[in-house]
Structure 1
Amino acid sequence: TTATSTCEQNIPSLSSVCKKHPDIATSLNNLALLYHSQGRYEEAEPLLTQALEMYQQLLGQRHPDIATSLNNLALLYKSQGRYEEAKPLFTQALEMRQQLLGKRHPDVAQSLNNLAALYDDQGRYEEAEPLLTQALEMSQQLLGQRHPDVAQSLNNLAALYDDQGRYEEAKPLLTQALEMRQQLLGQSHPDVAQSLNNLALLYKSQGRYEAAEPLYKQALEMRQQLLGQRHPDVALNLNNLALLYDAQGCYEEAEPLYKQALAICEQSLGPDHPTTQTVKNNLQMLLEEKDLK
């Protein structure tokens, strides 16, 4: 892509001027974030660790850019299912931001959100909820009611409620996040796809299969167009749509979707990633159910 080539071109030109400079670290960081968004996790990691080391050498151990670097590396580990490695980095970034920027700052709210999302992934709901409500309230006060960070906070809190079976509390937050993202980011954006997917998840949990299906399909199509056919988020969407068909006993529709999702997961995330294992188990259970018929 143009964005990738521009970022990649920036690094050698800066490197030739001086080998260690904050601008080089920033360029490494930006390219890593781009790779992360494209699902190219293995390529992103060395750039993030290099950027972090460079920032620490140039700026000392405590600086807002170092906190951002720690946060970005933690987000990558979270995407890779490396939760135990992500947690200390998220915590370190949060503490550093609170000390350097004050207790109430958009970056502090972002850190609270990220740590809470990690807890949610681990099923540590009671620890996640107070962080999410704090992040949401802080974002709304500092950034106003309509901002992408506020939408992300609403989305994360809704996802927590959904995981806990608190569907009536989750629904208004999800619809609010979706509408806000569509207005702020446009109709076609990865965050809009995430909102559509999460609203579909809620409908499926409630047994509202007919309401869930078009949202899953819309999110899947959007992610395929925006992120490419072999992105981890595309695999997640394929798995979710397969689960929907599976729940309705439509095994012939579900099976190829599971297989497609598994192939993407194995290639992009590796065989040991939690998502890969989940999809594998889902496919295995479906095949067993088919054999019983």
Structure 2
Amino acid sequence: MAIRGLFDLLRRIRPPSQFAAAAAAARRFGIQDSCPSIAGFASYDRPSFHFTWRKHHWGLILGVVLSGQTAFFLGLSGRSVLAQDTPLGELVTENEQGQASVTGLRRIEDGSVISNEHTSKWRIYTDNGRDLFLKGKVDEAEKYFQLALQEAKEGFGLKDPHVASSCNNLAELYRVRKVFEKAEPLYLEAISILEKSFGADDIRVGAALHNLGQFYLAQRKLDQARTCYQRAMKVKGQVLGHGHVDYANTMYHLGTVLYLEGKEKDSEALIQESIRILEDAGFGESATCIRRMRYLSQILLNSNRLAEAESMQRKILHTLELSKGWDSLETIVTAEALALTLQSLGSLVESQELLERCLAARKKILSEDHVQVAGNLLHLARIALLNSKHLQKVKISGARAELDKAKLLLDNSIRITKAILNPSRNDQKSLHSVNVSTESEKDRHAALTVLLQTLNVVGLLEVTKCELQLSREPCEYPLEAELALRDCISIFKEPHTRSILLNAPDAKVEYVACLKRLSSLVRDSIVESQRPKEVQDLIDAVQNIEAELLPRRQRK
């Protein structure tokens, strides 16, 4: 699909006579779409719950295309396209959309083409390194990129653009491996060579600066990243124009830096403008535009501008419904995010309808016992609890029916997550495969998070039940809360789930919240002098766990 979109774009922006040459170069790209945004594929944060369903990809960024006499940097974001050949005078760029655009630049006449034994070796090493890199064989790719850099220096000279290309490729590899101390000097050397070869305002310098900005952003060196992006934007604006999608790409990344620096208004303006440019260029339905809109909606949610976030989320969902339909998990996740925003706005009926549609679609695509189904059930249980509270003064029988519905949803969520955390013997035998084991660990981490949030909501269920008591007598002892607290304590005692808690900060936060709510309900339900020994033992166990997990100042 990415290649088909690439060819469609090339047809639009190149004369037909030049399409064949451009397409031949484009066929060499073996790039899959990735998600470069800071927030993740689909993440959303609500006051009580936080889920992130994220699909991980290689985070590849900029690269270099070499052409006969000189080198051309690619204006990418989100992945690298490494050195390869293309017709002289053409710059092939791959945007975040996973599509390529071709922009005619001034032809560079810089003397005769250097061709010797180093030239062919350099090309072979570069191609091999690129192919291995894209396959994820980073160690082998590193060896070829190092050999390519050596051949470039011996065959073309220490300050030749081919050397800049090889420096950039090797730097990108080190960035992916997070060997930052080796990557930075290579980036700087590439930029220095390009500036001396073509001038500080050349498009290749601008693209290299964008690369360096990505490198600094990955390390949260925001001052350096901002400076690189601002310089890159200036160059790209002069050469490509302020309506070019690659200019908008750098603008978007500058916006992410400004947001991380706390400059929300400036950040929002840049991201909105980058979205507008994509829409004007015909990329309003592209994966990149959707990612940017999703990131903008997250900014709006974080600043509690729920109505604006709702509008943006509706726009994203409409686009995905038309382009992918409800057989896509991306559509489902987007609809779920909108449902949670509607819930915060008090639109419970529409929120429930969306969540029920998400649940049916998930069961169809995944399975009825998938961790995402458990999370979906949890969201619906929360809606049922809110409905129950609204019905308390109107229709007691309706309020109780909603509580029963919430209880059933929570029980099913607990059943699913416990089965994932404690697989059967047959399932355990299948975990010998590295890939299956890795995926299983991700599912267990997600299942633990959902289970903890579900147990937490069991506490809310208990509170709501007490509020429905018609007599003035004290609420009955919260049996459900005690059972949930026992489950919560057992999670810490089980070696595997304990390991997840100790090594995953997000799971630890959920666990502490669950532990505190449930223990508070149990502790406050019975006068201390009348507590049975088993209940006091539970409370003592909670205190011991808190002592192990939390610093002293956070235990109360």
Q: TM-score, normalised on structure 1?
A: 0.64
The answer to whether the aligner puts 1:167 opposite 2:264 as a matched pair is yes
Amino acid at match of 1:289: A
The amino acid across from 2:223 in the alignment is E
Q: Displacement of 1:193 after TM fit? A: 5.6
Q: Is 1:147 aligned with 2:244? A: yes
Change (3 A) 1:180 1:68: farther
2:320 & 2:440 partners in 1: Cα distance?
Answer: 12
Map 1:205-284 to 2 at 5 A. Answer: 205-208=302-305, 210-211=309-310, 252=375, 263=442, 280-284=504-508
Determine the structure 2 residue equivalent to 1:110: 207
**Quick check: 1:158–1:174 contact (8 Å CA) kept in 2?**
yes
Q: 3-state DSSP class of the match of 2:229?
A: helix
Could you tell me how far 1:77 is from its partner in structure 2? 2.1
- Rounded Cα–Cα distance in structure 2 between residues aligned with 1:46 and 1:81: 17
Pair 1:131-2:228 in alignment: yes
Shift of 1:114: 2.1
Alpha-carbon shift at residue 214 of structure 1 (Å): 6.8
> Residue in 1 aligned with 2:421?
none
Paired letter, 1:174: I
Task: Name which structure has the greater RCO, CA cutoff 8 Å, separation 6+.
Answer: 1
CA shift at 1:68, angstroms? 1.8
1:58 to 155, 175, 194: 155
2:273 maps to which of 176, 179, 197: 176
Q: In structure 1, give the amino acid aligned to 2:171.
A: A
2:198 corresponds to 1:101: yes
Judge conservation of contact 1:196–1:218 (CA < 8 Å) in 2: no
Distance 1:166 1:57, change over 3 A: same
Q: CA deviation at 1:144?
A: 1.2
Q: Secondary structure, in 3 states, of the residue corresponding to 1:139?
A: helix
Cα distance change, pair 60–147 in 1 and its aligned pair in 2 (3 A): same
Of 285, 293, 300, 1:203 maps to 300
Whole-angstrom CA distance in 2 between matches of 1:186 and 1:27: 35
In the aligned structure 2, how far is the partner of 1:200 from the partner of 1:165?
16
Deviation at 1:22, TM superposition (A): 2.9
Q: Which runs of 5+ in 2 are unaligned?
A: 4-26, 31-80, 85-114, 322-328, 345-373, 379-412, 418-437, 444-502, 518-556
1:39 deviation in Å?
Answer: 5.7
Q: Which residue of 1 aligns with 2:173?
A: 76
Tell me which moved more, 170-179 or 30-39: 30-39
Q: Sequence identity, in percent?
A: 18
Q: Distance in 2 between matches of 1:82 and 1:185?
A: 38
Correspondence for 1:158: 255
* One-letter amino acid of the structure 2 residue matched with residue 156 of structure 1: H
Contact kept? 1:196, 1:216, Cα under 8 Å: yes
Deviations 1:149-206 (A, max 9, x none): 3122101210111111211111121122234345558456564465345334423432
Q: Report deviation, 1:4.
A: 7.0
Task: State whether residues 70 and 89 of structure 1, in contact with CA within 8 Å, keep that contact through their aligned partners in structure 2.
Answer: yes
CA distances 1:92-116 after superposition (whole Å, capped 9, x unpaired): 1111111111111111112222223
For the 8 Å contact 1:152–1:177, the answer to whether it is kept is yes
As a proportion of its length, which structure holds more helix?
1
Distance 1:165 1:97, change over 3 A: same
Deviates more, 1:52-61 or 1:33-42: 33-42
Counterpart AA for 1:51: A
2:186 to 71, 77, 89: 89
- Judging changes above 3 Å, is the alpha-carbon distance between structure 1 residues 72 and 201 closer, same or farther for their aligned structure 2 residues? farther
SS in 2 for 1:67: helix
Provide closer, same or farther for how the CA distance between residues 286 and 86 of structure 1 changes in structure 2, counting only shifts above 3 A.
farther
TM-score (norm 2): 0.37
Distance 1:154 1:106 in 2: 15
Which secondary structure state, in structure 2, belongs to the residue aligned with residue 199 of structure 1?
helix
Displacement after TM superposition at 1:55 (Å): 1.7
1:70·1:92 contact (CA, 8 Å) conserved in 2? yes
By percentage of residues, which structure has more strand?
2
**Following TM superposition, by how much is the alpha carbon of 1:57 offset from its aligned partner in structure 2, in angstroms?**
2.5
Whether the 8 Å contact between 1:197 and 1:215 is mirrored in structure 2 is no
| Number of equivalenced pairs | 248
Q: Which amino acid aligns with 2:243?
A: R
1: CA distance, partners of 2:293 / 2:219: 23
CA shift, 1:71, in A, is: 1.6
d(CA) in 2 for partners of 1:49 and 1:41? 12
* CA–CA distance in structure 2, aligned partners of residues 135 and 83 of structure 1: 21
Q: 1:67 aligns with which of 164, 168, 172?
A: 164
Structure-1 separation of matches of 2:440 and 2:265: 30
The alignment yields a C-alpha RMSD, in angstroms, of 4.7
Q: Tell me if structure 1 keeps the 8 A contact 2:194–2:205.
A: yes
Superposition deviation, residue 54 in structure 1: 2.4
Q: 1:292 aligned to 2:516?
A: yes
Q: C-alpha distance in 2, partners of 1:291/1:81? A: 36
In the alignment, the residues of structure 2 paired with residue 193 and residue 262 of structure 1 have an alpha-carbon distance, to the nearest angstrom, of 29
Distance in 2 between the 1:188 and 1:47 partners?
Answer: 38
